[in-house]
């Protein structure tokens, strides 16, 4: 039986076990998202910036202003920081030791957002396609690389994807029901509440992205249908009031606290700079998202390519027209904006997953065309990941973690099975087979490579934090004030102290000479200036160890000396 037929009895009898399907999707999502979730180091640079800003809220008790060290962080609203803080406070209340230093606690909102994205993709799909296709769409969404990455990072994007999927699921129901009385008044109010609450949460987490997608889709659909009356069911006036109730209190407080700087920084310094040019060296030409899609949406992407002819033929059908309105306007905007990061288009992936699932349900995959060759990307990417892990172990002279060697045979086995399915053109096994292959790959990569000894050279911040703890154990100091010269990653702030100083070699030398119980992480290039600046205080300073590695950002080689000053000359 193919996956498309899995729920056929439920469709016929009207007794589809929706709770059972939801539970299945939650378990599948957790299996895909949890490998490496707890053990991955803070991944520079964005993740530890978010986590550190939340940590500072907990340290200061100021839950309005957003800061990274002394710098105002006015690029994003406060929603994700509050969510992260809630989980950390909850962990502290339960007695978790050093909860504020555990990055995985800050990741929990992203994990929940990613699982919610899968469930809401399924829920949105139920309004547009059959139940079997809705399950396929959710499985495709759950297995994509990009959602799996965002589930493991303490950022905003998995949450935003969930809010968009929720809002679009409501919009889909109104679109498909237009021209007929499909909802009772109570149902209309429930759906409208979900829609506007999703927009309000999205605004509080990342600003205009969540409302932008349904707004673009609504305009496109109104033009397509030459009518907009069906939008009245969304209860616009009460909905806007609900959004304001969610967003306005914090917005008023932050505008007062920053004297209006939040608005100018977020809209001017951040958003407009992305529109005007490639911000922070993230510029890329139009078409970059389309090219990246075949990796970021693996293993779904090759199936979407095969679904393209079906989507074009069915573009005037109501469900397909809705999904294209969800996808195309926002995608074109993202392609036009010079600043590009892979996660920007994540809220559009559910539309692609549902379109692909619709093609599979209608036997519309172009398995007989030349596009079929793209399916080899599914096993091909898995084999490449395996080879990269093996080659990396040889080059870096370190073994991967045991989970790599446990998962590797299953990766090869499932890649071979996928190859057999491709040769047989067995469309019904491509989705569950791809999800299973993705699961083995994620166990191998996140659980075996990125948390194993082979990745240790890239884990400089955790190693420096451990070196600080070892150095402190040699002293009578209760804490060690840290400084660092050339290595200035946000993860080092998160894992050491908020007040860590980033100095030149000379500045770090002066810092060490000004007091006791101090530690400095001095890059080899800065050591002459550092030692020269110590002067008379050099007798109390000693080199405890050297750490070498590679900066995860940019691949620059690092050679850092760990210098300690207790203050009594020992």
Q: How far is CA 85 from the centre of its chain?
A: 18
The per-residue pLDDT for 136 is 97
Sign of CA dihedral 132, 136, 142, 146: negative
**Alpha carbon distance 106, 446 (integer Å):** 18
DSSP single-letter state for residue 264: I
Q: Are residues 236 and 315 in the same domain?
A: yes
Q: How far is CA 49 from the centre of its chain?
A: 14
Going by C-alpha positions, the residue among 192, 193, 212 that lies closest to residue 275 is: 212
Q: Are residues 308 and 436 in the same domain?
A: no
Per DSSP, the residues of 83-101 read HHHHHHHHHHHTT-TTGGG
**Alpha carbon distance 106, 85 (integer Å):** 7
Cα distance from N-terminal residue to C-terminal residue, the chain? 74
Across 36-142, the runs of DSSP E, i.e. the strands, are 67-68, 71-72
**Alpha carbon distance 69, 493 (integer Å):** 8
The enclosing domain of 560 has a CATH number of 3.30.110
In a domain, 45, yes or no: yes
Q: Are residues 350 and 413 in the same domain?
A: no
The per-residue pLDDT for 14 is 42
- Final residue belonging to a domain, choices 455, 474, 495: 455
In a domain, 286, yes or no: no
For the stretch 472-512, pLDDT in tens is 998 989 889 999 999 999 999 999 999 999 999 999 999 99
- Final residue belonging to a domain, choices 428, 455, 482: 455
**Alpha carbon distance 502, 493 (integer Å):** 10
Region of residue 400 (left: phi > 0; alpha: psi -120 to 50; beta: else): beta
Q: Give the side-chain half-sphere CA count within 13 A for 428.
A: 7
Q: Are residues 313 and 413 in the same domain?
A: no
In a domain, 402, yes or no: yes
Q: Are residues 198 and 265 in the same domain?
A: yes
Q: How far is CA 242 from the centre of its chain?
A: 27
Residues 116 and 25: beta-carbon distance below 8 Å: no
For the stretch 233-254, pLDDT in tens is 999 999 999 999 999 999 999 9
This prediction's pTM: 0.94
What's the helix, strand, coil split of the chain in %, to 5?
Answer: 70, 5, 25
Look up tokens 């209309």; give the residue.
188
For the stretch 42-98, pLDDT in tens is 999 999 999 999 999 999 999 999 999 999 998 889 999 999 999 999 999 999 999
**Alpha carbon distance 468, 380 (integer Å):** 43
The per-residue pLDDT for 277 is 53
In a domain, 285, yes or no: no
- Final residue belonging to a domain, choices 332, 361, 390: 361
Look up tokens 């100018």; give the residue.
264
In a domain, 43, yes or no: yes
Q: Are residues 499 and 391 in the same domain?
A: no
Q: What is the mean pLDDT of each run of 10 residues along the chain (570 residues)?
A: 45 59 97 97 96 98 96 92 98 96 98 98 97 97 98 98 98 92 89 96 95 98 95 95 93 90 73 55 83 97 97 97 98 94 97 98 93 96 96 91 96 98 93 97 97 95 97 90 97 98 96 92 97 83 96 94 76
Q: Are residues 144 and 157 in the same domain?
A: yes
Q: How many domains, the chain? A: 3
For the stretch 356-366, pLDDT in tens is 999 999 999 99
**Alpha carbon distance 73, 343 (integer Å):** 20
| ∠ CA 354-359-360, rounded to 5° | 95
For the stretch 329-344, pLDDT in tens is 999 999 999 989 999 9
**Alpha carbon distance 334, 208 (integer Å):** 13
Q: Are residues 53 and 197 in the same domain?
A: yes
The per-residue pLDDT for 271 is 60
In a domain, 287, yes or no: no
Q: Are residues 324 and 395 in the same domain?
A: no
The per-residue pLDDT for 75 is 83
Whole domain around residue 490: which residue ranges?
A: 459-565
In a domain, 560, yes or no: yes
The per-residue pLDDT for 83 is 98
Q: Are residues 75 and 117 in the same domain?
A: yes
In a domain, 490, yes or no: yes
Q: Are residues 547 and 511 in the same domain?
A: yes
Q: Are residues 312 and 175 in the same domain?
A: yes
Region of residue 98 (left: phi > 0; alpha: psi -120 to 50; beta: else): left
In which element (H, E) is residue 558 found? Answer: strand 557-565
């Amino acid at each position: 039986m193919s996956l498309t037929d899995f729920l056929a009895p439920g469709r016929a009898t009207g007794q589809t076990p929706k709770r059972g399907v939801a539970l299945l999707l939650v378990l599948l999502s957790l299996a895909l998202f949890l490998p490496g979730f707890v053990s991955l180091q803070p991944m520079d640079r964005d993740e530890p910036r978010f986590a550190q800003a939340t940590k500072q809220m907990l340290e200061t008790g100021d839950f309005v202003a957003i800061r990274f060290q002394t710098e105002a962080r006015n690029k994003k609203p406060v929603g994700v920081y509050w969510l992260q803080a809630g989980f950390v406070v909850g962990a502290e209340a339960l007695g978790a030791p050093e909860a504020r230093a555990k990055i995985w606690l800050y990741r929990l909102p992203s994990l929940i957002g990613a699982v919610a994205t899968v469930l809401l993709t399924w829920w949105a799909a139920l309004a547009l396609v059959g139940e079997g296709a809705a399950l396929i769409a959710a499985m495709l969404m759950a297995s994509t690389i990009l959602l799996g990455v965002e589930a493991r990072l303490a950022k905003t994007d998995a949450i935003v994807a969930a809010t968009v999927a929720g809002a679009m699921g409501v919009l889909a129901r109104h679109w498909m029901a237009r021209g007929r009385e499909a909802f009772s008044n109570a149902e209309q109010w429930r759906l409208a509440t979900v829609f506007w609450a999703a927009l309000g949460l999205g605004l509080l987490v990342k600003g205009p992205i969540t409302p932008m997608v349904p707004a673009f889709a609504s305009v496109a659909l109104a033009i397509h249908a030459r009518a907009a009356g069906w939008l009245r069911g969304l209860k616009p006036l009460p909905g806007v009031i609900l959004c304001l109730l969610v967003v306005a209190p914090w917005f008023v407080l932050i505008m007062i606290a920053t004297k209006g700087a939040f608005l100018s920084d977020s809209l001017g310094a951040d958003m407009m700079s992305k529109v005007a040019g490639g911000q922070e060296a993230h510029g890329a030409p139009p078409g970059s998202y389309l090219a990246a899609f075949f990796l970021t949406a693996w293993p779904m992407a090759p199936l979407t390519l095969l679904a393209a002819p079906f989507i074009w033929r069915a573009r005037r059908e109501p469900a397909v027209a809705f999904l294209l309105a969800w996808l195309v306007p926002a995608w074109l905007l993202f392609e036009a904006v010079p600043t590009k990061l892979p996660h920007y288009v994540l809220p559009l992936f559910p539309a692609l997953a549902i379109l692909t699932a619709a093609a599979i349900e209608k036997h519309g995959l172009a398995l007989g065309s030349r596009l079929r060759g793209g399916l080899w990307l599914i096993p091909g990417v898995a084999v490449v990941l395996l080879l990269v892990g093996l080659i990396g172990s040889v080059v870096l002279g370190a073994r991967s973690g045991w989970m790599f060697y446990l998962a590797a045979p299953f990766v090869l086995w499932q890649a071979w099975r996928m190859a057999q399915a491709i040769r047989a053109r067995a469309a019904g096994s491509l989705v569950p087979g791809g999800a299973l292959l993705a699961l083995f790959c994620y166990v191998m990569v996140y659980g075996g490579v990125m948390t194993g000894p082979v990745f240790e050279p890239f884990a400089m911040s955790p190693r420096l934090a451990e070196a600080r703890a070892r150095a402190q154990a040699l002293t009578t100091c209760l804490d060690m004030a840290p400084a660092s010269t050339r290595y200035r990653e946000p993860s080092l702030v998160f894992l050491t102290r908020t007040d860590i100083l980033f100095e030149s070699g000379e500045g770090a030398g002066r810092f060490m000479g000004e007091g006791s119980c101090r530690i400095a992480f001095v890059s080899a290039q800065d050591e002459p200036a550092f030692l020269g600046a110590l002067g008379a205080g050099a007798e109390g300073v000693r080199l405890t160890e050297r750490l070498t590695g590679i900066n995860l950002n940019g691949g620059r080689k690092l050679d850092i000396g760990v210098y300690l000053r207790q203050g009594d000359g020992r």
